[in-house]
Structure 1
Amino acid sequence: MKITFYLVRHGETLFNHLGRMQGSCDSPLTERGIAQAYETADQLKDIWFDRIYSSPSERAWNTADIIAKDREVQPVLLSGLHEMSFGRLDGARHTTHEEEIRRCQESLDYSSAGGESPAMMEARIRKTLRTMIDESEDGDRILLVGHGMYQICTMKILLGIDLEALRQECDESGRSMIPNGGIMVFTYEDGEYQIQQIPVEPKNFEYKMEDKTVHLYYVRHGETLFNHYNRMQGRSDSPLTAQGIEQVKLSGKALHNIDFAFAYCSSAERARDTAAYILESHDISAIPNRDLREIDFGTYEARVRDSIMDELYERFNPRVDFSDVGGESEEQVIERIKRILTLAVARAKDKENVLLVAHGSLYMTMIKYLFNIYRADLTEQMKAKGKHIMPNGGIAKFTFSQGIYQLDQLMVTPEEFMEVQ
């Protein structure tokens, strides 16, 4: 089993700024510390965390809250992540106890001041991580938000880092060994811990996505009332018809044997209902995500398509653009597509299957963005075969591998999908 830990130090605090010792005691984040936490959050935004743990000290908890903002996983406070206790030196100025503090820092031993010793820290760190490991699954990514001396003790005791050599290297390059908001990465695999990234400032952190293959299944919702009456339906919504329900039940049958790790759906009710039917035989539920919503058609919403086909052709080809009528441009839609794909791929582990339930025109924009397939061209090709480019309840499949997407199956009806699988 392999687990990746991201250990982040809290942002700058009042005591950091004033040069006071800060272990078991606490002080609030400064404005600079808050900015550092946001910078760290930005650098980690494309990483999915299966769990987030934070020291119960408010400076760490507040930092964790900033990083976890808008994520599906929220921080759990864990006392084992508390900063090392400095005993009576907690709150003291570095300059007033300079010699004693230097000796304690060099030995990582504050027991002479009534604080913690290296043995106490090792026992606490190992026990805390062991608890997390026992609760985890292979491939999990865990965010820990804590403290500077905790990082140092972890590097020395757990990872065997030569602190003196690291300190000298940092001094020569003019950087902090444990920067506020700094990010450190290490792994656990088969009983061994290994450093992947020593603590660095957020701006110097480079995320390297793990090598993995992810299978994405994209399903269009079933027929709706507006579909039946041939009305434009973007951000507007209408319920599934009886035929639409039968279509998505067939989609569920076609996907019955696919083991989905997780699923996302558009926040529109027609997509949420579709996802619920498809996942009836699975043990997961789809998570609504606004980035999967259909294109906003502005004032064209609910208009009957038959009377405006020439106008629609111009608005969909070669680029989608409803921005002049209160809707979206293609650039805006692509930004949403990028976000949801980044989230899905980041969350997925190697060889996992992901279900996306959304809409037809969003799908067409996605395959143009990913595979350079144009709507007008595909329409002509499918028309010659007597097929629809985006049938209600239709299923498409993409694969992400080695940093690129490949198209496995253009959208087809559930019946056709079952035939080709």
Structure 2
Amino acid sequence: MSTEVYLVRHGETMFNQLNKVQGWADSPLTVKGIDDLKVTAHNLSQVHFDKMYSSDLKRAIDTVHLIADANEVSNIGKIKKFPAFREVFFGTFEGDDIDQTWEKVSLAGGMDPSTDVNEIINTLGIYRFREATKKADPRHLAENSAELDDRMTRAIEQLTEEARGLGRVLIVSHGDFIKTLGIKYWKQSDGLHDIPFPENGSVSRGILHDNGKFEIIDYNVKNQDLLDM
């Protein structure tokens, strides 16, 4: 039996609004973030889920509870937290200005200074981009490609085991983590270059197969389009 997975990005946070790097660092949902999530929650309110999960960061936990509370056709019960579905870790850059961080990463990757992360990724490729981020980090704590790929694999394995026998589940995660899953598992990605960053409150839909194979079939779906999924 395959399990349908709805991957939701949390709502807008204070760090999103202030243009700060936000990986394992956490900041609260904004009023706009909550209002936008109410739209997502309404559009998912008639979708039956056997279980809901989230990463262990508060912005994801708050998001999943808002969605669960609005759902009219599911009996969710306890919501389990999966640390493996945390956002990408940016090490020393956590909480720093995003544009200044990308300039440093660009230089570490041998490029002219650029604050356009899409340009950096498409020039270096996603794997070299992660290495450049770790290199630019003064303490070299930021996750590189191998570390992040290991964590993504562990996340999918844990979810496969947890959701075995269930028809449909929802898990709230984070923008860069979902995007990296998309680069690896979305059929429209070539596995190397950048894809659109998922919007706050958007849904990406995947299929978990019993053999552990995972594929994303819808990516970054938002607002009224959720009703057509």
Shorter-chain TM range is 0.7 to 0.9
Alpha-carbon distance in structure 2 between the residues aligned to 1:165 and 1:117: 16
Q: Deviations over 1:97-143 (max 9, x none)?
A: 33234558723513222211122122112212212212333452111
Q: CA deviation at 1:207?
A: 4.0
Residue aligned with 2:20, SS: coil
Q: How many residues align structurally? A: 199
Q: Distance in 1 between matches of 2:11 and 2:89?
A: 19
Contact 2:56–2:86 (8 Å) recurs in 1:
yes
What is the distance in 2 between the residues matched to 1:24 and 1:119?
Answer: 18
Give the Cα separation in 2 of the matches to 1:136 and 1:85: 26
Mapped partners of 1:79, 1:117: distance in 2: 18
Residues 1:198 and 2:219 are matched in the alignment: yes
Answer whether contact 1:7 1:146 (CA < 8 A) is retained: yes
Instruction: Work out whether 1:146 is the aligned partner of 2:173.
Output: yes
1:82 aligns with 2:86: yes
The answer on whether the counterparts of 1:23 and 1:86 sit within 8 Å (CA) in structure 2 is yes
1:72 — aligned with what? 75
1:186 aligns with 2:206: yes
Specify the alignment match of 1:137 in structure 2.
Answer: 164
> Is 2:145 aligned against 1:118?
yes
Q: Distance between the aligned counterparts of 1:57 and 1:82, measured in 2?
A: 7
RMSD, matched Cα: 2.2
The DSSP-based 3-state class of the residue aligned with 2:199 is coil
| 2: CA distance, partners of 1:125 / 1:14 | 26
Over residues 8-32 of structure 1, what are the superposed CA-to-partner deviations in whole Å (9 max), with x where a residue is unaligned? 0000001101111100101110000
1:127 to 154, 167, 175: 154
**Structure 2: which amino acid aligns with 1:202?**
N
Q: Distance in 2 between matches of 1:98 and 1:136?
A: 37
Q: Shift of residue 157 of structure 1? A: 2.5
Structure 1, residues 213-264: CA drift from partner, whole Å, max 9, x if none? Answer: xxxxxxxxxxxxxxxxxxxxxxxxxxxxxxxxxxxxxxxxxxxxxxxxxxxx
User: For the Cα contact (< 8 Å) 1:14–1:30, is it kept in 2?
Assistant: yes
2:47 corresponds in structure 1 to: 47
Task: Flag the 1:157–1:118 CA change in 2: closer, same or farther, 3 A.
Answer: farther
Name the TM-score, length of structure 2 as normaliser: 0.78
2:170 maps to amino acid: L
CA contact (8 A) 2:89 2:143 kept: yes
In 1: Cα distance, 2:103 partner to 2:177 partner: 21
Runs (4+) of structure 1 moved beyond 4 Å? 101-105
Rg comparison, structure with higher value:
1
Over 3 Å counting, the alpha-carbon distance change for 1:165 and 1:83 in structure 2 is closer
Q: Judging changes above 3 Å, is the alpha-carbon distance between structure 1 residues 136 and 166 closer, same or farther for their aligned structure 2 residues?
A: closer
Q: Which residue of 2 aligns with 1:57?
A: 57
Sort the Cα spacing of 1:2 and 1:181 in 2 relative to 1 into closer, same or farther, 3 A: same
Alignment-derived partner of residue 219 in structure 1 = none
Contact 2:160 2:212 in 1 (8 A): no
* CA–CA distance in structure 2, aligned partners of residues 56 and 139 of structure 1: 22
Displacement of 1:2 in angstroms is 0.6
Cα distance in 2 for residues equivalent to 1:6 and 1:43: 13
Per-residue deviation, residues 24-59 of structure 1 (Å, max 9, x unmatched) = 101110000001221111111111111211111111
Please give the alpha-carbon distance, in whole angstroms, between the structure 1 residues aligned to 2:179 and 2:52: 20
Q: Residue 135 and residue 77 in structure 1: after superposition, are their counterparts in 2 closer, same or farther (change >3 A)?
A: closer
Greater relative CO, 1 or 2 (CA 8 Å, sep 6+): 2
Deviation of 1:152 after TM superposition, in Å, equals 1.0
Once the two structures are overlaid, the 10-residue window that deviates more, 32-41 or 7-16, is 32-41
Distance in 1 (CA, whole Å) between partners of 2:60 and 2:184 is 22
Q: Where does structure 1 lack aligned partners over 5 or more consecutive residues?
A: 168-176, 209-421
Q: CA deviation at 1:164?
A: 4.2
- SS for the counterpart of 2:171 is strand
Question: Take 1:207 and 1:133, find their aligned partners in 2: how far apart are those partners?
Answer: 26
Alpha-carbon separation, structure 1, partners of 2:220 and 2:97? 24
One-letter amino acid of the structure 1 residue matched with residue 150 of structure 2: A
- The 8 Å contact of residues 48 and 168 in structure 2, kept in 1 or not, is answered as yes
Larger mean CA deviation between 28-37 and 68-77 belongs to: 68-77
Query: Aligned runs of 1:151-170 on 2, under 5 Å?
Result: 151-159=178-186, 161-162=189-190, 164=193, 166-167=195-196
Structure 2 partner of 1:91: 95
CA contact (8 A) 1:122 1:158 kept: no
Distance across 2 between alignment mates of 1:118 and 1:157: 12
- Is 2:23–2:94's contact at 8 Å kept on the other side of the alignment? yes
- Separation of aligned partners in 1, 2:38 and 2:79: 16
Q: Which runs of 5+ in 2 are unaligned?
A: 110-116
How far, CA to CA, are the matches of 2:220 and 2:67 in structure 1?
Answer: 17
1:56 is paired with a residue of what secondary structure?
coil
Q: Does 1:17 align with 2:31?
A: no
Partner of 1:4 in structure 2?
4
